[in-house]
Amino acid sequence: MDAILAQVFTGISAGAVLLLIALGLTLTFGQMGVINMAHGEFIMAGAYTAFVVSTITAGTELSLLIALPVGFLIGGLLGLALEASVLRWMYARPLDTLLVTYGVGLVLQQVARDVFGAPAKEVPAPDWLDGSIPILGYDFPLTRLFIILLAAGCVAALLAVLRFTALGREIRATVGNRDLAETLGISTRRTDRATFFIGSGLAGVAGVALTLLGSTGPNLGTSYIVQAFLVVVVGGIGHLKGTIVAALGIGLLQAFLAHALTGSVAQVIVFLAIVAFLQLRPQGILSVRTRSLA
């Protein structure tokens, strides 16, 4: 019983990490069909932001809270730069964006290696996240609790933006139907840029959060990117609810499998399970019906 509870908690917190990472992708992938492999490097940029902020503030208690918005900004600006310099020319060739952004990711990784050096950097967690609290008799690390709350907060904020702001309405209109949105006078160029900014910004936030769990190094992003895309694909491209379900589902599955088997075998089985799942539901958990052909 205890073991099951422990795995539920571990699975949920792993799912929250996946969710944080995949959230931005859902937006960029969902809205523009851009397969941004450099998303992982935006996460890395967020993590280095946390490192720089904690160095500048000399590890004050608030450095994490400062780093979150700064990380969002840095990730978002990188996203804007990518969109404006490269991606805007490629909307007609969505599949090609995968390789182009992979190339961008490679360059960003090497830049990080040259700027910050190859050794991993440690970002100390603030004291108020030190230790754990008992939930149902299970010691839940505060850092993981923080990440779950952060993921929930990001989802809520994103929903609020999409639901209640003019920008959100424009984004939803453009996702729903690009041509129609344009005939209604929405500047899809601007919406694209805004979407990319938010999506990439979320990657930055995820990066800041990840420093609580692991190391900050040039390869940070690559270890997450494949999984993140799988989450988006399983969730149904462009669907927030689907992404949430998929992230938690994959997190839990992985946790239970890792408990019963070994970490490596668990990873392989999760991958295969996803392939099998897509056989049953090629459109992911949630799917849109369209009247369009092809």
Partner 1 sequence: MKTSKIKHSSPYAGWLLLAIALLVLAPAVLSDFRLGLLAKYCCYAIAAVGIGLAWGRGGMLVLGQGLYFGLGAYAMAMHLKLADAGPGGVPDFMALYGDAAVPWWWEPLRSGAVAVVVILVLPVIVAGLLGLAVFKRRIKGAYFAILSQALAAAFAILLIGQVKTTGGANGLNNFQGFFGYALFDPANKRMLYFVAAGILLVSILAMAWLHRSRFGELLVAVRDGEERVRFLGTDPANVKLAAYVVAAVLASVGGALFVPIAGIVSPDDVGVVASIGLLAGVALGGRASLLGPAVGALLVGYAETSLSEAFPGSWSYFQGALFVLVILLLPGGLAQLVGMAKRTVAHRERPALEEAAAR
Partner 2 sequence: MRTKISSRLLAASSVLALGMTATACGGAKTGDTASSESCLDTSGDTVKIGFLNSLSGTMAISETTVFKSLSMAAEEINADGGVLGKKLEIVSEDGQSEPTVFAEKATKLIQDDCVAAVFGGWTSSSRKAMLPVFEGNDSLLFYPVQYEGLESSDNIFYTGATTNQQIIPALDFLKQEKKIESIFLVGSDYVFPRTANKIIKQYAAANGIEVLGEEYQPLGSTDFGTVVDKVKAAGADAVFNTLNGDSNVAFFKEYKGKGLTADAMPVLSVSIAEEEVPGVGVGNLEGQYTAWNYYQTIDSETNKEFVTDFKAANGAKAVTSDPMEAAYTSLHLWKGMVEKADSFEVADVVDAADGVTYDAPEGTVEVDGENHHLAKTALIGQVNGEGLIDTVWSSEKPIEPDPFLKSYDWWKN
Partner 3 sequence: MTLTVNDLRVEFDGFVAIDGVSLTLEPGRLHFLIGPNGAGKTTLVDALTGLATGSGEARYRTRDLLGLASHTITRLGVGRTFQTATVFEELSVLQNLDIAAGVHRPRWRLMLPRRGTPERVAEALETVGLTALADRPAGVLSHGQKQWLEIGMLLVQNSAVMLLDEPVAGMSAEEREETGELLRRISPERTVVVIEHDMDFVRRFADVVTVLHAGKVIAEGSAAEIREDAEVQRVYLGDTVADMTETRAEESA
Binding residues (CB under 8 A) for partner 3: these are: 177, 179-180, 183, 289-293
Q: Which of partner 1, partner 2, partner 3, none does residue 44 bind to, with CB < 5 to 8 Å depending on kind?
A: none
What's the N-to-C CA distance of the chain in angstroms?
A: 49
Residue 177's binding partner among partner 2, partner 1, partner 3, none (Cβ under 5 to 8 angstroms by kind) is partner 3
Q: Which stretch binds partner 1 (CB under 8 A): 2-10, 52-60, 70-78, 93-101?
A: 93-101
Does position 119 interact with partner 2 (CB under 8 A)? The reply is yes
Contact residue for partner 2 among 43, 233, 247, 258 (CB under 8 A)? 258
Per DSSP, helices labelled H in the chain are 2-32, 39-56, 63-85, 94-116, 142-164, 166-176, 178-183, 188-210, 222-235, 240-260, 263-280
- How many angstroms from the chain centroid is the CA of residue 43? 8
Q: Does 224 engage in binding with partner 1 (CB under 8 A)?
A: no
Greatest alpha-carbon span in the chain: 58
Tally the C-alpha atoms within 13 A of residue 62's C-alpha that lie toward its C-beta: 4
Residue 38 neighbours by CB under 8 Å, 6+ apart: 78, 82, 101, 102, 104, 105, 108
Query: Is residue 42 within the footprint of partner 1 (CB under 8 A)?
Result: no
Q: How far is the CB of 86 from partner 1 (least distance, A)?
A: 6
Does 65 sit near partner 1 (CB under 8 A)? Answer: no
Say which entry of partner 2, partner 3, partner 1, none residue 141 contacts (CB below 5 to 8 A, set by partner kind): partner 2
57 binds, among partner 2, partner 1, partner 3, none (CB under 5 to 8 A by kind): none
CA distance 127 to 116: 25
Between 58 and 92, CB nearer to partner 1: 92
Query: Quick one: 264 or 290, whose CB is closer to partner 3?
Result: 290
- The site partner of 259 among partner 3, partner 2, partner 1, none (C-beta below 5 to 8 Å per kind) is partner 2
Q: Does 217 bind partner 2 (CB under 8 A)?
A: yes
Dihedral-angle region of residue 135 (phi above 0 means left; psi in -120 to 50 means alpha; beta otherwise):
beta
According to the binding rule CB under 8 A, does residue 106 interact with partner 2? no
- What is the rounded distance in angstroms from the CA atom of residue 31 to the CA atom of residue 198? 12
**Are the CB atoms for 78 and 45 separated by under 8 Å?**
yes
From CA 154, how far away is CA 81, in angstroms rounded? Answer: 23
Q: Which of 166, 179, 185, 279 binds partner 1 (CB under 8 A)?
A: 279
Q: Which stretch binds partner 1 (CB under 8 A): 121-129, 138-146, 191-199, 227-235?
A: 227-235
Stretch that binds partner 1, among 59-67, 156-164, 200-208, 259-267 (CB under 8 A): 259-267
Candidate residues 91, 102, 116, 256; the one interacting with partner 1 per rule CB under 8 A:
102
Characterize the bridge pairing of strands 138-141 and 132-135: antiparallel
**Sequence-distant (≥ 6) Cβ neighbours of residue 115 within 8 angstroms:** none
Q: Residues 55, 89, 107, 122: which binds partner 2 (CB under 8 A)?
A: 122
120 binds partner 2 (CB under 8 A): yes
By CB under 8 A, the count of residues binding partner 2 is 41
